[in-house]
Amino acid sequence: MSDYRIWKLAAHEELMEQAADWFHEKWGVPRAAYLESMQASLQETAVDDWYVCMDGETIIAGLGVIENDFHDRKDLTPNVCAVYTEEAYRCKGIAGELLRFVAEDKKNSGIDTLYLLTDHTGFYERYGWEFFCMVQGDGEPEMSRMYIHRMP
């Protein structure tokens, strides 16, 4: 992990355009929606925050924190979303380091509990996340797993 750098986009506005393109490419959500959320993160009261891990000038991993990741449990907030690591960089601890970084960063801003919607089992538990409940994703036929992470 020492060769890579994690950046909080609110502190590195120059990366927002590149990051919006990257997240759009990975998840298919409109680029404008990512950019809007990233720009909202510049406001002091914003829940939204976006983080990328860089190898030189290349984004190799990233994730966001938003109020709700398109599910019916609006009370479970904020949500870590759009977690992705480029295939060539997987199994190197990058996602775990990003998850740790965001948990610490949000705790420093007064948020000690995070939620995460996923269909994965076994992955997030390695990084201190616990299964919390099943939730209904917007427009999804099946229920999805909701995880929780509490910082001490």
Range of 39's domain? 5-150
Q: What is the DSSP letter of 88?
A: G
Tally of domains within the chain? 1
- Record the pTM: 0.94
CATH number, domain with residue 69? 3.40.630.30
DSSP track, 57-83: TEEEEEEEEES--SBS-TTS-SEEEEE
Label residue 135 exposed, middle or buried (CB < 10 Å: 0-12, 13-18, 19+). Answer: middle
Tens digits of pLDDT across the chain (152 residues): 568 999 999 999 999 999 999 999 999 999 999 999 999 999 987 789 999 999 999 999 999 999 999 999 999 999 999 999 999 999 999 999 999 999 999 999 999 999 999 989 999 999 999 999 999 999 889 999 999 999 98
Helix (H) or strand (E) holding 17: helix 16-27
